[in-house]
């Protein structure tokens, strides 16, 4: 097996397949601090200061620079490679050979911070190392593998990136393409290909892949049932590990399509052959404790699984279609219940207004936006601040997505007669200080919520409107008296979720003002911003993660008087902007200027006004 490293392309200082060869071979006696300066990663004065500081604490100059954030792990590893005249390998791009990786145990990879990545020839193994000067590690790997070791250099983050994927041979089989493929387990026929793209970063900014099966589902069955059981488990496991919010099982005229919603965008993940479509649907319904014999009406259920030693809840909904039952699983991420306010992405002025609103002893704070825009997450961030021993907090939700210690949470149950309105009436008899209503859907719920806000309670709730000013009109249309709306509501937040640009591949561009105006942005100057490119870490999409866009409208005396006068949404919006409210698109434009997202993404999530 011949490695690409034997290609003439690597015989000079250049890049090929993730490999950077040094400008000059051999150590040449240079010290690492000198190399860092020569490569332009740090200036000489700062390097000298770091060396002096390192002497005082018994460390090294490069370690001081790394801890201070003056250089990155990637820059340090490139300097080490140049210092020793070795190749530098970017393991997120390099095509790693699984046959090479598996000759060393994961324990050894972790201990030595070294991973075999390719065979140079029949006798030599290419090993990416954080510290190529670790002679002990080189010797041990040579002894345990029986190969000669040719060291190369990679960053600690890249070694960790590979270490997390050692149990997934499909990652190594297609590392150069950025597409992760997985064959259907157990049965040779029928086969199902699951294509996953890295979307959600781990703490080291690397996408997470792991095909280890875990959880209470029984894999001991045999025959076709075992194939279906394993397939469903792997689809769920992959989704939970890759930050998927929803899984869609969609029967077509023949096969079934499986799609994942990642960062708000649906992507095809698998195609299930027609022969096992009914079995896959039945398996999901059994897990959710639904009636597998009932296919004519929608059903709702819930699944609890243990995946990678963490508990994952899934909300399941079925819908009858002409080709069979469509099944949608919503993955409930418990970490969203523990989010802090500074993680929401609000600009300082908006955050100040929002914080001031829910810090009051009474009144109503409403969060609006479409389904999946993060409304509940924003309310939970506020509740985390308010959740103290002195406060009695009660919520009524449909469903209760996140369990929070210290808060009484009530689940809506229409079949038993427990609606939002009925639950709210009962909650008022339980001495609450703070009430959260999952959603104001009807006049009765709105009336009770408004009255509660006027009688000394802090009420937090969500409403489906396109913007913040529209929430005032919506409540009045529901039948709430305008003077009650103006008196009870203190703050309205409208929000959307936009995808974050991948920091590893985003590209700086200059967008002409004319193009900006064509897309609905009222600007007079060209804008310097970033656009998505696509790389292995973001699965070629150019985006990784999401951030909120917000408009926060404080109910001032002016807004209150306009509400009482039943003025239009447009009139209320103009007044709010005059008082300092930033519209959703302007908030998005500011995040574009800061390099967080792109113009195209803001246009997609906010639409045209």
Q: Which helix (H) or strand (E) holds 228?
A: helix 223-241
- Residue, of 443 and 312, whose pLDDT is higher: 443
Q: What does the pLDDT read at residue 174?
A: 39
Read off the pLDDT of residues 200-220 as tens digits, 9 standing for 90 and up: 333 333 332 233 333 333 333
Backbone angles phi, psi at 100, to 5 degrees: -75, -45
Per-residue confidence band for 400, with pLDDT thresholds at 50, 70 and 90: confident
Q: Confidence band (pLDDT; 50, 70, 90) for 551?
A: very high
pLDDT for the residue numbered 221:
39
Residue 336 pLDDT class (50, 70, 90 cuts): low
**Which DSSP letter does residue 334 get?**
G
Q: What span, in angstroms and rounded, lies between the C-alpha atoms of 554 and 560?
A: 10
Q: What is the pLDDT of residue 165?
A: 77
- Give the percent of the chain with pLDDT over 70: 84
Give the Å distances, CA to CA, from 171 to 194, 348, 569.
Answer: 12, 41, 52
pLDDT of 15 reads 38
CA distances from 22 to 15, 82, 119, 592 (A): 10, 5, 20, 37
- pLDDT per residue over 97-155, tens digit each? 878 888 888 888 888 889 998 888 888 899 999 988 887 788 888 888 888 889 999 98
What is the average per-residue pLDDT within 219-231? 56
pLDDT of 222: 35
Dihedral of CA atoms 72, 78, 82, 85 in degrees, nearest 10, equals 140
pLDDT band at 484; cut points 50, 70, 90: very high
How much is the average pLDDT of 43-67? 86
190: confidence class by pLDDT, cuts 50, 70, 90: very low
Tell me the mean pLDDT in the region 369-380: 88
- Rounded Cα distance, 569 and 492, in Å: 13
Q: Are the C-beta atoms of residues 243 and 262 closer than 8 Å to each other? A: yes
Mean model confidence pLDDT for the chain: 81
Give residue 223's region: left, alpha or beta (phi > 0; psi -120 to 50): left
Beta strands 194-196 and 180-182 are antiparallel
Residue 181, pLDDT > 80, answer no
Best CA proximity match to 403, nearest among 494, 289, 548, 304: 304
Tell me 31's DSSP state. Answer: -
Percent of the chain's residues with pLDDT above 90: 30
> Average pLDDT in the 425-432 region?
90
Which residue did the predictor score with more confidence, 216 or 280? 280
Q: Is the pLDDT of residue 4 over 70?
A: no
Residue 386 is predicted with a pLDDT of 93
Is 178's pLDDT higher than 70? no
For residue 362, is pLDDT > 60? Answer: yes
Residue 480: pLDDT band (50, 70, 90) is very high
Q: Band of the pLDDT at 19, cuts 50, 70, 90?
A: low
More confident call, 306 vs 545? 545
Q: Is 376 helix (H, G, I), strand (E, B) or coil?
A: helix
Full DSSP string of 383-401: HHHH--TT--EEEEESS--
310-321 and 299-307 strand pairing: antiparallel
Q: How many CA atoms lie within 13 A of 519 on its CB side?
A: 18
């Amino acid at each position: 097996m011949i490695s690409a490293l034997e290609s003439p392309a690597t015989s000079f200082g250049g890049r090929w397949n993730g490999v950077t060869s040094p400008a000059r071979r051999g150590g040449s006696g240079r010290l690492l601090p000198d190399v860092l300066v020569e490569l332009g990663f740090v200036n000489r004065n700062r390097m000298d200061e770091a060396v002096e500081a390192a002497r005082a604490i018994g460390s090294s100059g490069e370690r001081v620079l790394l801890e201070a954030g003056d250089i990155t792990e990637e820059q340090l590893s490139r300097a080490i490679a140049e210092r020793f005249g070795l190749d530098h390998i970017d393991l997120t791009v390099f095509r790693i050979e699984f046959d090479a990786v598996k000759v060393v145990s994961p324990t050894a990879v972790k201990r030595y911070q070294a991973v075999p990545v390719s065979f140079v020839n029949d006798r030599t193994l290419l090993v990416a190392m954080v510290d190529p000067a670790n002679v002990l590690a080189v010797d041990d790997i040579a002894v345990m593998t029986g190969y000669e070791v040719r060291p190369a250099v990679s960053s600690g983050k890249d070694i960790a990136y590979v270490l997390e994927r050692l149990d997934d041979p499909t990652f190594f089989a297609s590392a150069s393409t950025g597409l992760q493929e997985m064959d259907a387990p157990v049965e040779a026929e029928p086969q199902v290909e699951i294509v996953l793209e890295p979307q959600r970063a781990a703490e080291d900014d690397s996408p997470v892949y792991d095909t280890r099966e875990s959880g209470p589902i029984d894999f001991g069955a045999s025959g076709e049932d075992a194939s279906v059981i394993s397939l469903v488990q792997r689809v769920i496991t992959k989704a939970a590990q890759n930050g998927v919010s929803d899984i869609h099982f969609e029967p077509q005229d023949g096969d079934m399509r499986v799609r994942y919603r990642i960062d708000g965008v649906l992507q095809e993940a698998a195609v299930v052959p027609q022969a096992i479509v009914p079995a896959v649907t039945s398996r999901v319904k059994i897990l959710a404790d639904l009636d597998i014999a009932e296919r004519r009406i929608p059903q709702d259920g819930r699944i609890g699984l243990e995946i990678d030693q963490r508990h994952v809840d899934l909300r399941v909904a079925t819908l009858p279609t002409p080709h069979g039952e469509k099944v949608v699983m919503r993955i409930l991420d418990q970490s969203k219940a523990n989010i802090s306010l500074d993680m929401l992405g609000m600009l300082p002025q908006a955050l100040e207004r929002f914080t001031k609103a829910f810090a009051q002893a009474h009144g109503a704070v409403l969060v609006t936006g479409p389904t999946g825009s993060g409304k509940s997450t924003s309310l939970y961030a506020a509740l985390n601040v308010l959740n103290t021993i002195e406060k009695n907090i009660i919520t009524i939700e449909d469903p209760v997505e996140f369990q929070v210690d210290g808060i009484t949470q009530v689940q809506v149950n229409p079949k038993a007669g427990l609606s939002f309105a009925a639950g709210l009436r009962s909650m008022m008899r339980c001495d609450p200080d703070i009430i959260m209503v999952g959603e104001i859907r009807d006049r009765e719920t709105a009336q009770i919520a408004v009255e509660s806000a006027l009688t000394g309670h802090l009420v937090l709730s969500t409403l489906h409107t396109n913007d913040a000013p529209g929430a005032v009109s919506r409540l009045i249309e529901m039948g709430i008296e305008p003077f009650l709306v103006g008196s009870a509501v203190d703050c309205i937040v409208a929000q959307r979720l936009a995808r974050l640009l991948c920091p590893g591949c985003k590209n700086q561009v200059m967008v002409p003002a004319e193009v900006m105006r064509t897309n609905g942005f009222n600007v007079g100057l060209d804008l310097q911003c970033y656009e998505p490119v696509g790389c292995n870490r973001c699965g070629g999409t150019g985006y990784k993660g999401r951030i909120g866009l917000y408009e926060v409208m404080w109910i001032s005396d002016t807004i209150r008087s306009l509400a009482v006068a039943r003025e239009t949404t447009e009139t209320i919006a103009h007044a709010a902007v005059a008082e300092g409210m930033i519209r959703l698109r302007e908030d998005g434009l500011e995040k574009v200027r800061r390099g967080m997202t792109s113009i195209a993404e803001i246009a997609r999530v906010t639409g045209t006004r």
